Amino acid sequence: MSGVTVDRVPPLFGSCPLAESILEAFLASSSLRFGRQRSQIETAFVLRRGVAALMVATVSTPFTAEPPTADRRAEVRLLAEMQSVQPSGELWVGLHVELRPGWHTYWTNPGDSGEPVRIDWKLPPGIVTGDIVWPAPHRLPNPPFMDFGYENEVLLLIPIRTADLRRTASVTLEADLRLLVCKDICVPERSTVAITLPVSRIPQKRSDVEPLFAAARRRVPRAPPVSWRLRAQARDRTVIMTIDTEQPPHAIEFFPLRPLEIRHAAPQPVRRSPAAVSLTLEIDERRREPLSHLSGVLVIDQEHSVTVDVPVLAERPR
Amino acid sequence: MKIRFFAFVLALTSCGAPDTFAGAARVGDAAPGFTATDSNGRTHRLSDYKGKLVVLEWHNRECPYTRKHYESGNMQKLQKEWTGKGVVWLTVISSAPGEQGYVTASEENAHLEKMHAAPTAALLDPKGDVGRLYGARTTPHMFLIDTNGTLIYNGAIDDRPTSDPSDINGATNYVMAALQEAVSGKPVATATTQPYGCNVKYARGTS
């Protein structure tokens, strides 16, 4: 897949430019799974080269998925936030996953086992997709280990950019999915999802999915509040992450973006004081090098989480 | 007083799952010694194999990621090639009774034959002792121990963390690379990677 880079992510937080630029920075700095790293600026978008062609309008329902079978543990749909795509513009789509009770799927760092969803897009010319914008994960204990992901329901937001579709009546976005769902056993569920959207200059929100998209946005980690000062200090085989703030959050949990840095299953003792809260994070027992950077998500609750990207100050020799 | 109690409760509740820490098998350290019984009732100790290279392969015959490497013949090919060169290859099954992948000795022997697998032995670890000792997280999860008993590889079988057999061709096989480096006296370039697969099915509800 060649990479002509696109420099901007379509607005996620609408009227908040600060959140936009920070989200962009987060997307640019997020890395993929081990062994498949891409350069920072390629991360947000990958443009598929193709010869522009007229698309024949296809008649279809707004979204389709593999027909459910009795065995399926996850229902997956591709949803578009808007009723149409602009000839040149941006749009958010979402992969809506509904899981049977007891089954879960995984975050970008799945933890000690598991695998995040794999999406193979089939797109017409003029359409570019970006990386998934992951909602804050949950802990999925697996004693003595720990995974990270989602139960019940999750909407994975994906940015789409269109270019030069003036002469196109409609476009179909299709994706082959591989979604690992686990309970006591693991099943890699394959499905194909597709959505056909008319091309129109005037974007209108789909009211039926508006609540879903709004809820998904609330679950996406944001930049830390300006009133916070986040710092990380190495100490023995731990990293002490401290937030200096006048109103320290109550419960907090840290989720590392990459494996082999912080031990996933380790408890994270919290110490709270009037103007600070600190978490003690254990270095993964297999890691040999010191950890120089702490990257991940700090979750206060499902709708309040922040991205963390701070250097780890080396321990001063004693 | 109230605040301290509240903070204590907060600290507890923010801890997540109880810490039931597994052992540390860190590359560069001595590989943890173990004793285990194989599917033929024979006892194996890691110390029996000093002077030999030892591969440990965590296994669950029903896990899609294990099946990827077995239905393609990929794992068996490695086993044959390297046991043929004097490497000790130990398949380890740490699934607890009642969990996926648990097998009796005779079931395992039948499975080995059916799959034309060629490990030196298949160790039955239903209590998960060896698994926990090594911090075995997934099936497959691979370890390589050198002739001095030092752990020189801990991680994934290859660099394509999927359950798709079509991802085997073209993947970098970390275990093969580590074995080749070890036999030629070179340091292992990629010594620790994140393993991928299904979680090892330790007994639930206990640590």
Distance in angstroms (rounded) separating the CA atoms of residues B175 and B75: 10
Answer whether A131's CB lies under 8 Å from A116's CB: no
pLDDT tens digits, residue range A21-32?
A: 444 444 444 433
Distance in angstroms (rounded) separating the CA atoms of residues A20 and A28: 12
Start-to-end CA distance of chain A, whole Å, equals 50
Q: Does B193 contact A at CB distance below 8 Å?
A: yes
Closest among A81, A275, A281, A108 to A180, alpha carbons compared: A108
Q: In 3-state terms, what secondary structure has residue B143? A: strand
Q: Does B63 contact A at CB distance below 8 Å?
A: yes
User: What is the structure's pLDDT at A44?
Assistant: 43
Distance from the Cα of A238 to chain B's closest Cα (Å) equals 15
User: What is the structure's pLDDT at A316?
Assistant: 81
Distance from the Cα of A128 to chain B's closest Cα (Å) equals 25
Residues in chain A, pLDDT under 70: 1-70, 318
Which residues in chain B have their CB less than 8 angstroms from residue A33's CB? 161
| CB–CB contact A188 B64 (8 Å) | yes
User: What is the structure's pLDDT at B13?
Assistant: 45
DSSP H or E run through A29: helix A17-29
Residues 88-147 of B with CB under 8 A from A: 99-100, 132, 135, 137-138
Which residues in chain B have their CB less than 8 angstroms from residue A141's CB? 16-17
Which residues in chain A have their CB less than 8 angstroms from residue B66's CB? none
Which residues in chain A have their CB less than 8 angstroms from residue B64's CB? 186-188
Return the ∠ at Cα A37 (arms to A230 and B199), rounded to 5°: 85
Which residues in chain B have their CB less than 8 angstroms from residue A112's CB? 137-138, 199
Distance in angstroms (rounded) separating the CA atoms of residues B38 and B48: 14
Tokens encoding B97: 């009774």
Whole-angstrom CA distances from A238 to A215, A228, A268, A305, A308 are 35, 22, 10, 22, 17
Distance in angstroms (rounded) separating the CA atoms of residues B157 and B173: 6
Instruction: Give me the residue from B13, B26, B138 closest to A285, CB to CB.
Output: B26
Distance from the Cα of A3 to chain B's closest Cα (Å) equals 21
Which residues in chain B have their CB less than 8 angstroms from residue A35's CB? 159-161, 172, 193
Tokens encoding A234: 């190495």
pLDDT tens digits, residue range B137-157?
A: 999 999 999 999 999 999 999
User: What is the structure's pLDDT at A70?
Assistant: 66
Answer whether A45's CB lies under 8 Å from A8's CB: no
User: What is the structure's pLDDT at A62?
Assistant: 43
Instruction: Give me the residue from B7, B17, B62 closest to A265, CB to CB.
Output: B17
Amino acid found at B117: A
User: What is the structure's pLDDT at B24?
Assistant: 79
Distance in angstroms (rounded) separating the CA atoms of residues B22 and B141: 14
Beta bridge partner(s), residue A237: none
Residues in chain B, pLDDT under 50: 6-20, 207
pTM: 0.84
Taking each helix axis as running N to C, give the angle between helix B74-83 and helix B174-183, from 0 to 180 degrees, rounded to the nearest 10.
Answer: 10
